[in-house]
Amino acid sequence: MIGKKVIDTDPITIAEVKEMLEGIQEHYELTYEQNLALDHVTKFSKLDTESAKKMVEELEELIKKTQAIKIADIMPEDMADLRLIFAKERGSIKKEDMEKILEIVNKYR
């Protein structure tokens, strides 16, 4: 690991991970861990990459990027599911904002 270090990290959606792993799979044989990751994201991705990116952009107007990505990955169905996502976050989200978030999610469902 000489000369290797993390320069920057940026969270991405499950749909983007799926696209990346499928791109790698076209050119190389995936390792065991990469195959497990691909299997996982194939089962749990609910959106295509473009829709996920657009949804995250819309949600970023209301909340942080990391929260928007969680919501795009989970696709909460109601207010209770949405509250669970924000349960560990500091601060609180207004009910009006949560309703707007659910409207955005339902638009991409």
Helix, strand, coil share (%) of the chain residues, nearest 5: 65, 0, 35
Residue 88: per-residue pLDDT: 84
| pLDDT tens-digit map of 66-101 | 999 999 999 999 999 999 988 888 878 889 999 999
Quick check: is 103 in a domain? yes
Domain count, the chain: 1
Secondary structure of 23-56 as H, E, C letters: HHHHHCCCCHHHHHHHHHHHHHCCCCHHHHHHHH
Quick check: is 13 in a domain? no
At 61, which CATH number? 1.10.150.80
Residue 68, domain extent: 49-108
Residues ≥6 apart with Cβ < 8 Å to 60? 68
The chain-wide mean pLDDT, for the chain, equals 92
Residue 89: per-residue pLDDT: 80
User: Does position 23 have pLDDT exceeding 90, yes or no?
Assistant: yes
